Structure 1
Amino acid sequence: MLKQVLLGIFDAMVILTIGFIGALFFLFTTVPSGDLKANWSPAQTTTLYDKTGQHILYEMHGEENRKVVPHEGISDNLRKVTVAAEDDAFYSHNGFDVKSIFRALKVNLQNDHISQGGSTITQQLARNVYLTREKTIKRKVKELLIAIKIERSNSKQDILDYYLNTVPYGANAYGAEKAAQIYFGKSAGELALDEAALLAALPKAPTYYSPYGSHRSELLLRQQAVIQRAADLGLITKEEALEAKKENTLAKVQDFKSKIEAPHFVFYVMEELEQRYGRDVLDAAGFDVITTLDYDLQKLGERIIEDGVNNNVKKYGGSNAALVAVDPKTGSILAMVGSKDYFATDIDGQVNVTTSLRQPGSSIKPIIYATAFEKGLQPETRITDARTNFGPDGSGRDYIPRNYSGTFRGNVSMRQALAMSLNIPAVKTLNYVGIDNAINMAERLGIDTFTQRQRYGLSLAIGGAEVTLLKETGAYAVFANDGVRQTTTSINKVINSDGTIDYANDPANGKRVIDAEVARKVSSILSDNDARTPVFGPRSPVFIEGRKVAAKTGTTQEFRDAWTVGFVPSLAVGVWTGNNNNAPMKGGADGVFVAAPIWHSFMVKALESVPEESFIAYTPVAKEAVKNIDKGSDKDVLEASLPSGVKHKKNIINDKRPKGWSKKEWDAYKKSIGL
């Protein structure tokens, strides 16, 4: 019986083996030949446009931006470091590397999808020349079989030369010759070792590692690793590696001379496209990409940022600024100015500050109050602004925050507290709603940077955690859109080379993340110029004559960051000012003085042709209901949530008349708010 079972298993294995070999043989006979000269065809150009399709922002060239050079036109340095970076077994395998395949297979099984290919240089060449970019098992098998044919039909020298003439290096450069010209102003045959290593570092992720992008430090780390790997493999000497590592290669990189509009936005789009399609597809597909960029708003933003920085650097020592504009109803990024000047290396202009983590100061407060309103508190809820000890903050010291002015305003409403940006009420509100609940609110609004919850304390209420300008502006856009969140996007449509639509953004995919009443309460407070007047004055830069706008400023410690984020129902705009190296600005560089004027100038111009819009009013609760919430009209409802034994000092109301106010105006205002 056992013998029969074993014979049956053996027969089945023989049949399966024969079938597998037969299938491989069939595929082997049907896949193209390895004749590279006869089968190589260049990639098509992918073009990025503004939202109208009229303005070309950037072209990802195929044939038009490739120059094929012979073997002698390519530096030996580049060959060596390319093998080290992409395929260190290149000279010993027959087209595929078993170790790499099993390593990639392990990763793919862990991820439950094909994320790594384990491809050799020959396999990459087979894919570039013969195959589509789809990530399927069948394509991988074909790739492997074609690689074997290529190895049989071509020398290693020819294979590497073809690879170096086809591989994309970013910045529209396809092939080593064009890459060397664009980046270093020389031919591929003239590349020094450090320059060659920088180029060899790029093909893995050309957009991410671009020397013109936001990840230059990561590029240098990869370049150094490539040099070291080449030395470890014996392709270069240790002395050569040491000398190459000492070179300041980025200083040799030329300014990007190809036509590019809105460069920070373009690189952001390219990263979004890479996430959607993968690098290989973008390198050859010939897409027409209709982005979300409003060309006129982008140019307006660039001019205003430049003017604003020129003013700030003189008065306050702020050498940089950034601006982003979002359509709340669609999530479309309409303008993205990542720095004063993308090409200014003295301010790290390539860094896109709109996507960089910075502390937001008080501009985070609306999210804290939105959490409170969701829990049933109201803009009319009373809260005490007084010196408060919140107990140990985790560092061994008691947390006793202070208001920016150094004074306190006593019993105020939540409307007044948020509008005047009072710190003590904001911290008390966070203490009441809970840090986890506030972070949950932030995440629903699209802020996903508060990842280590255990690290955050009550200082979160006044900007003690990092966020990006783009994500915070997107969160404000939810308030503008009545509680419905549209995922921010830079792409409207992707059109194939044959004219068919490959992808189209659908604004109908918006999701309600907070109740409309909560959004309306926040919008009501942020657009209440009377409520913020005691601190900011009646005609501050967040006030626009003849138009209702909602806005909030923010300033961090030592004036390292200054923010203004605001909106109308059809447009949300965020502005950051400061220094990329995190150096403090001069004293007095508040958000209202350095960021708000930029925001104001942009909003005024951007809204010139937009009809005046009104915010939908929230439904106020009955006065008796507010009293019930407060347990008495003047009692601080948040008092009970404070640590045991905490007592306020005597309430102190700042009764000093603001500069520019007459006594009559000030007395009338105090009476109107019950002071």
Structure 2
Amino acid sequence: MQSRVIQVLRRVLVGLARLTLWLSIMGILAAGVGWIWLDRVILSTLPDDLSEYRAFRPLTNCEVYDNKGQAIDQFWVERRVWVPLDELPDHVWQAFVAAEDRRFFQHKGVDLRGIARAIVVNFQTGGTSQGASTLTQQLVKNLIVGKERSYTRKLREAVLAVRLEREQSKEALLELYLNYVALGAGNYGVEAAAQDYFGVSARDIDVGQAALLAGLVPAPSRYSPRRSPVTAAERRGIVLRSMVTLGMISAETAASHQDDLVLVPREGDTQGREGLAYITQVRRELRALYGDELLFELGLQVHTPLNLAVQAEAEAAIREIVDAHQARQGRAPIVKRLPKASWEAFLSEGPGLRKGGGGGSVKEPAAGQCFQALVGPKRDLNKLSAGPFTYQLIAEDHEALARAKNTGGDVPPVPLSRLIGAGDVLEVCRTDAADAVRLGDEPWSQASAVVLENTTGEVVAMVGGYRDTLEGFVRASQGLRQPGSSFKPYVYAAALAKGHSQIDTVVDGPLALPAGNGQTWSPKNYSGGYAGALPMRDAMARSLNTVAVRLALEVGADRIAALAKDMGVETPLRSDLTLALGSSEVTVLDQARGYATLARLGRSVEAVFINRLLSVDQEELARAGEPLRVEGRSLAPLPGGPGRQVLPRGVAYEMVDMLRGVVTAGTARRASVEGLDRAGKTGTTNGYMDAWFVGFTPRYTVAIWLGTDRTLSLGEGETGGKSVIPAWIRIVEALGERKGERLRPPDEAMLLPWRGGWVAVSRGRAPASALPIERVGDGPLPLFGAPRR
């Protein structure tokens, strides 16, 4: 019996031994397979060297500064402002450690104890509310492996977290985390979030504010202090209690912040800020040159020549001439006229205010909101339709003088009730009274300006319109407008370059030119008459159209277009004879560059909106006209530089002198400023659609346009000389030009006694009676065209 028991035991033990051996072999095989899988699927895909993250800087903001070094703008892909850890109060990093990783200073990248605790809690609750990712793992997820939801991602994350902790100190990891973490509303890092939510630096936030920021990490949108202040306060309380448990703060300190009101200012409104068009231009130029990724990788500090004092005056001057024009011509709320076939589609869109997007129900505009409404078939101003709603125009606006649909410039202002027609779309705004609307406040005319420093090409101010917006349409650089007679200096300059002189005799008389299909084109002067034979200087001063066309016939439209391009008109031009009268569209910035080339005695100029680019560490990376140098690479240069000599210096100065005559005795006489050397040209297009004045002093060129966005007439008599020059004078006075300073003639020019005064002529074409500059005398040079002493 005993031996049988022994035999059974022996067989059991042998079986167990065999099973153990088999299981061991299978375990070793499984471990081997697991290791091979781990190596090939996980480890082999991970970077071995993480040393680059010692000096890693995430994408940061681009900051823009004016000419005095004052910050005027920030833009970003991720709104982030880097702040060193040692500049933050301890309670900032403590709040995040308490909220996200209590054992941060004990573990080596992965918190096994925390994982165990999370498993137990989640098992007990039946959910997944308890997480165990360390701050280092969160960094790895955001920096390296991404946010894919999978077990392989978690394994990669854990392995890299351990490796990263070997490469970096806890303090370095904490600094990187606090500058990288997403905190909602486009904010990344504690500094950007503190500035946005509290209006202060993270260096200055208190314990309660730090706890509120730390509480946002799991779900920044859900816990947003703007959207959900109650939820945000509850999360803050959780973090404060955790800080007390860890001995970071006292219970009394936590209690003192427990009931703090969550007062978060609204996100910044750009309304009322100066230089929005200028800032928009800077942003677009940088993106076009370098792209977003490089811009924000470098965290560029962008220094501009923007002069805020001049910018403020320029914006005020533009508003002033638009308001003055509105006062003369009346409000014109008519946006467009729709054919009857389009009425139903327009009304189906409602007043443009919807709940939940295009598929939602139509929302009626609130009091004060502006929208578009349709005039019905009976032209009844008391039955204006906007979607399903009907409104009546207040009585005071029935007779409001307006010129909305006058396209010829020869119809006097008439009451709105007579001007409108069926299908007209009006811009209206709700009043406090039920079903009542008034005419819209926005002016129907617009204006824009560019102020450019002649020597450097620096743009010191730019106005895009009556009310500029950030990242909006910038009329000064994007709006294409016919320049009218303000284009004539390019025509005359081409004629001077070909051999003419400003005192040469030209003929102002009828012209009949073939226009195709058996038609003829006969250009007319603004006055309707003809002056006969007269000097070129007088023809320019009087802005005679037939003379400009005759010169274009002689010189060639192609040559004029090429010269204008060389002088700075970057917009492609049509090369036909109507070019001489400014029929081909240009921008205000084109005109500023072109006229500045004359002030620079024929040397072309690039408009400079950016003088310098600095890195976040204050290292200079580029200056105007130089390439951007980054990590040994040479990238696209910033606009700027000395320019090219595109017009002989003597010819350019003769053109300058001719434009002085426009100001002293021509269409721009209103631009006279006592003691100031100035030159320029007005422009007015057919039907008074556009009005211009472009003028320069020895130091600055100022180009201004007044018109509409909808190809409407400005009204009878709205010329460049009348409507635009007041803004030019205000801007020039704001520039503080020194009286008596003169644009001195070059050696290539000579002075000619003429009509009891002096005019300038190019040395190569001067008559025998002309004097070289050095013979005029030792005193200050005369204003040419003024009487000789």
The aligned residue for residue 485 of structure 2 is: 362
The aligned residue for residue 329 of structure 1 is: 455
8 A contact 1:316–1:588 mirrored in 2? no
SS at match of 1:391: strand
8 A contact 1:57–1:260 mirrored in 2? no
Deviation string 1:152-173 (CA, Å, 9 cap, x unpaired) is 8549xx9xxxxxx9999xx977
The aligned residue for residue 513 of structure 1 is: 646
The aligned residue for residue 72 of structure 2 is: 57
The Cα of 1:306 is off from its aligned counterpart by 1.5
8 A contact 2:603–2:646 mirrored in 1? yes
Provide TM-score, normalisation by structure 1. 0.58
The Cα of 1:59 is off from its aligned counterpart by 1.4
What is the aligned-residue identity percentage?
28
Return the match for 1:583 from 688, 712, 715: 712
The Cα of 1:391 is off from its aligned counterpart by 2.1
The Cα of 1:46 is off from its aligned counterpart by 1.9
Mapped partners of 2:186, 2:269: distance in 1: 10
Return the match for 2:728 from 599, 602, 613: 599
SS at match of 1:324: strand
Matches within 5 A, 1:192-231: none
Mapped partners of 1:296, 1:581: distance in 2: 31
8 A contact 1:339–1:349 mirrored in 2? no
The answer to whether 1:262 aligns with 2:292 is no
Matches within 5 A, 1:55-454: 55-60=70-75, 62-64=78-80, 129=143, 153-154=152-153, 256-257=269-270, 261-316=274-329, 319-343=445-469, 350-392=473-515, 394=516, 396-450=518-572, 453=574
Give the unaligned 5+ runs of structure 2. Answer: 1-39, 83-138, 158-178, 198-219, 225-265, 331-443, 626-639, 755-760, 767-786
- Cα 1:553–1:593 change in 2 (3 A) is same
Give the unaligned 5+ runs of structure 1. Answer: 1-21, 67-124, 131-145, 159-164, 192-252, 631-671
- Cα 1:254–1:350 change in 2 (3 A) is farther
The aligned residue for residue 703 of structure 2 is: 574
More strand by share: 2
- Cα 1:44–1:307 change in 2 (3 A) is same
8 A contact 1:60–1:172 mirrored in 2? no
Mapped partners of 2:267, 2:706: distance in 1: 28
Mapped partners of 1:127, 1:375: distance in 2: 69
Range with greater deviation from structure 2 (278-287 or 302-311): 278-287
SS at match of 2:693: strand
SS at match of 2:732: helix
Mapped partners of 2:270, 2:672: distance in 1: 41
Mapped partners of 1:172, 1:402: distance in 2: 59
The aligned residue for residue 557 of structure 1 is: 686
- Cα 1:26–1:610 change in 2 (3 A) is farther
The aligned residue for residue 547 of structure 1 is: 676
Q: Give the AA of the match of 2:655.
A: V
> How many positions carry a matched residue from both structures?
441
Matches within 5 A, 1:520-539: 520-528=653-661, 532-533=665-666
The Cα of 1:39 is off from its aligned counterpart by 12
The Cα of 1:65 is off from its aligned counterpart by 8.1
8 A contact 1:415–1:531 mirrored in 2? no
Mapped partners of 2:517, 2:709: distance in 1: 28
Mapped partners of 1:56, 1:283: distance in 2: 17
The aligned residue for residue 482 of structure 1 is: 601
Mapped partners of 2:149, 2:140: distance in 1: 8
Mapped partners of 1:600, 1:350: distance in 2: 26
- Cα 1:484–1:503 change in 2 (3 A) is same
- Cα 1:530–1:564 change in 2 (3 A) is closer
Q: Give the AA of the match of 1:619.
A: M
Mapped partners of 1:437, 1:581: distance in 2: 32
Deviation string 1:470-500 (CA, Å, 9 cap, x unpaired) is 0111110000011112211100001101111
8 A contact 1:341–1:349 mirrored in 2? no
Greater Rg over alpha carbons, structure? 2
- Cα 1:612–1:413 change in 2 (3 A) is same
8 A contact 1:42–1:63 mirrored in 2? no
Q: Give the AA of the match of 1:370.
A: A
Aligned-CA RMSD value: 4.4
8 A contact 2:698–2:741 mirrored in 1? no
Mapped partners of 1:405, 1:420: distance in 2: 10
The aligned residue for residue 206 of structure 2 is: none
- Cα 1:378–1:126 change in 2 (3 A) is farther
Mapped partners of 1:609, 1:518: distance in 2: 26
Provide TM-score, normalisation by structure 2. 0.50
More helix by share: 1
Q: Give the AA of the match of 1:532.
A: A
Mapped partners of 2:292, 2:728: distance in 1: 36
Q: Give the AA of the match of 2:506.
A: I
Mapped partners of 2:615, 2:568: distance in 1: 31
The answer to whether 1:462 aligns with 2:581 is yes
Q: Give the AA of the match of 1:517.
A: G
Mapped partners of 1:530, 1:495: distance in 2: 43
8 A contact 2:450–2:476 mirrored in 1? no
